């Protein structure tokens, strides 16, 4: 472990159940579901007609009106979540060295809606109909670029892509940058906006989505025997990571300490997890070792928990291999039961849920858990939050391509 400790001093959320950390957390504990019928396009011909959409997002005071159309929606989400995280942190960038502050915000797909719309314009009107902003709307590093420009931050700056593990990889990289002394503060997380005809249609074509069109709010049901696929979501989760002494010097409020990371590859299949969750097992073990944590330190796992038949079974197996008999003493839950799968943003929002769980001594629930699956036999915190003192938690994210990223956080003491 580096002797430069990394703490979380700010958080921001845009999600299907709330566009601030406080609103998101209140609705998590209330067992709210963000799933409903799609309003962003006509989904009548799609196999799945529902999703977890962001609702009532305000960009006022964050993005200038003339800039809105020059950005894809995934950048809107990233900018709003970053604005909250920065305000939440109390950082005054005028008093900081901009060369010591960096930004790593990832996305699984980036400006997908802009790509889709621009392709339509090309087909209908030819290349002259393309916007001069098309490329900069689409590329995945542009959210980091917009944030650095807005706040004049000149440290390490890039985007990361690793499908559903994206935000966790971004946060892990940002942590290591601080630990090795290349920055004192990093703004990091993920953002995603793919609720579009091609986004939903593409996931339907690979049979990844739930088709429970008669009751969308019950469709995301991780670890339940009747799960039939994930529900696509959208949003952003952004954290301010800070070197401990830097945070103490400015008397920042410390929400949590970011302890360790574990990054592995399954090297098995482009979408299916490796047998027995072998890659996830190694990622969790590496994360615990990197953070100097033992099995007894962990009380809570925020599971990847996608509500797909293979993932939930494989992740359960992996947790049991890592924790042995202690697996049954853990509380496990999946935030995706409430907000759907935010793809490249999932790791950011789910790490924030883990940090809020530690700070409030409350385990968030897995909603829609109705029928136990014999192959998924852990304590998934069904349907109701429960109070529990938590010293440390791990957050699992696993992506297409066999990417595994696990983060650990603990109480700061």
**What does the pLDDT look like over 150-170, one tens digit per residue?**
999 999 999 999 999 999 999
- Domain-located, residue 15: yes
Tell me which residue has tokens 């990091």: 188
Give the gyration radius of the chain's Cα atoms: 20
- Domain-located, residue 257: no
Pick from 407, 129, 363, 138: which is nearest to 259 by CA?
A: 407
Q: What is the pLDDT of residue 355?
A: 98
Pick from 316, 150, 174, 366: which is nearest to 258 by CA?
A: 174
Are 224 and 289 members of one domain? no
Are 200 and 273 members of one domain? no
Q: What is the pLDDT of residue 271?
A: 85
253 counts as catalytic: no
Q: What is the pLDDT of residue 340?
A: 98
Q: What is the pLDDT of residue 409?
A: 98
Domain span including residue 52: 7-249
- Domain-located, residue 337: yes
User: Which among 192, 226, 249 is the end of a domain?
Assistant: 249
Are 281 and 198 members of one domain? no
Are 159 and 288 members of one domain? no
Domain at 186, CATH number: 3.40.47.10
- Domain-located, residue 302: yes
- Domain-located, residue 258: no
Are 296 and 375 members of one domain? yes
How many domains are there within the chain?
2
Q: What is the pLDDT of residue 356?
A: 98
Dihedral, 250, 251, 255, 261 alpha carbons, nearest 10: 40
Q: What is the pLDDT of residue 2?
A: 63
Active-site pick, 52, 75, 146, 164: 164
Over the stretch 44-68, which tens digit does the pLDDT of each residue have?
A: 999 999 999 999 999 999 999 999 9
- Domain-located, residue 1: no
* Neighbour-count burial for 174-213, b at 16+ CB within 10 Å, e otherwise: bbebbbeeebbbbbbbbbbbbbbbbbbebbbeeebbbebe
Are 268 and 368 members of one domain? yes
Are 105 and 223 members of one domain? yes
Are 196 and 270 members of one domain? no
| Residues of the chain predicted below pLDDT 70 | 1-2
User: Which among 183, 215, 249 is the end of a domain?
Assistant: 249
Q: Which residues have C-beta within 8 Å of that of residue 215, sequence separation ≥ 6? A: none
Are 297 and 207 members of one domain? no
164 counts as catalytic: yes
- Domain-located, residue 108: yes
Tell me which residue has tokens 């709210």: 32
Are 188 and 236 members of one domain? yes
Are 218 and 276 members of one domain? no
- Domain-located, residue 96: yes
Are 223 and 320 members of one domain? no
Please give the model's pTM, rounded to 2 decimal places.
Answer: 0.97
Active-site pick, 52, 146, 304, 376: 304
341 counts as catalytic: yes
User: Which among 249, 271, 287 is the end of a domain?
Assistant: 249
């Amino acid at each position: 472990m580096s002797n430069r400790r990394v703490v979380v001093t700010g958080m921001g959320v845009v999600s299907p159940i709330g566009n601030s950390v406080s609103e998101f957390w209140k609705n998590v504990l209330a067992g709210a579901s963000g799933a409903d019928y799609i309003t962003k396009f006509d989904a009548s011909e799609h196999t799945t007609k529902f999703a977890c959409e962001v609702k009532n997002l305000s960009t006022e005071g964050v993005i200038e009106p003339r800039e809105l159309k020059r950005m894809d929606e995934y950048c809107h989400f990233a900018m709003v979540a970053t604005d909250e995280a920065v305000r939440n942190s109390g950082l005054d960038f005028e008093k900081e060295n901009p060369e010591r502050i960096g930004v790593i915000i990832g996305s699984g797909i980036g400006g997908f809606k802009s790509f889709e719309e621009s392709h339509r314009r090309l087909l209908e009107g030819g290349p002259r109909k393309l916007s001069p902003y098309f490329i900069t709307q689409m590329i995945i590093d542009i959210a980091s670029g917009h944030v650095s420009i807005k706040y004049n931050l000149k440290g390490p700056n890039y985007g990361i892509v690793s499908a559903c593990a994206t935000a966790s990889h971004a946060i892990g990289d940002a942590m290591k940058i601080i630990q090795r002394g290349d920055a004192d503060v990093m703004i990091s997380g993920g953002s995603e906006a793919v609720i579009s005809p091609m986004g939903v249609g593409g996931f339907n074509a690979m049979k990844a989505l739930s088709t429970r069109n008669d009751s969308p709010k019950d469709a995301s049901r991780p670890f339940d025997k009747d799960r039939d696929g994930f529900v696509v979501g959208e949003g952003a989760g952004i954290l301010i990571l800070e070197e401990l002494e830097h945070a103490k010097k400015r008397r920042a409020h410390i929400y949590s300490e970011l302890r360790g990371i574990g990054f592995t590859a399954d090297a098995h299949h482009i979408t299916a997890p490796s047998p027995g969750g072998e890659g996830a097992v190694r990622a969790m073990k590496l994360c615990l070792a990197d953070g100097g944590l033992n099995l007894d330190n962990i009380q809570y796992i925020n599971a990847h928990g996608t509500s797909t038949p293979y993932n939930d079974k494989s992740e359960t197996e992996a947790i049991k291999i890592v924790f042995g008999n202690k697996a049954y003493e853990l509380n496990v839950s999946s935030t995706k039961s409430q907000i759907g799968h935010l793809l490249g943003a999932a790791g950011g929002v789910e790490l924030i849920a883990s940090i809020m769980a530690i700070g409030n001594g409350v385990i968030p629930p897995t909603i829609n858990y109705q029928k136990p699956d014999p192959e998924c036999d852990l304590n998934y915190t069904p349907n109701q939050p429960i109070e529990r003192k938590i010293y440390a938690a791990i957050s699992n994210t696993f992506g297409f391509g066999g990417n595994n990223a696990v983060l650990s956080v603990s109480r700061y003491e």
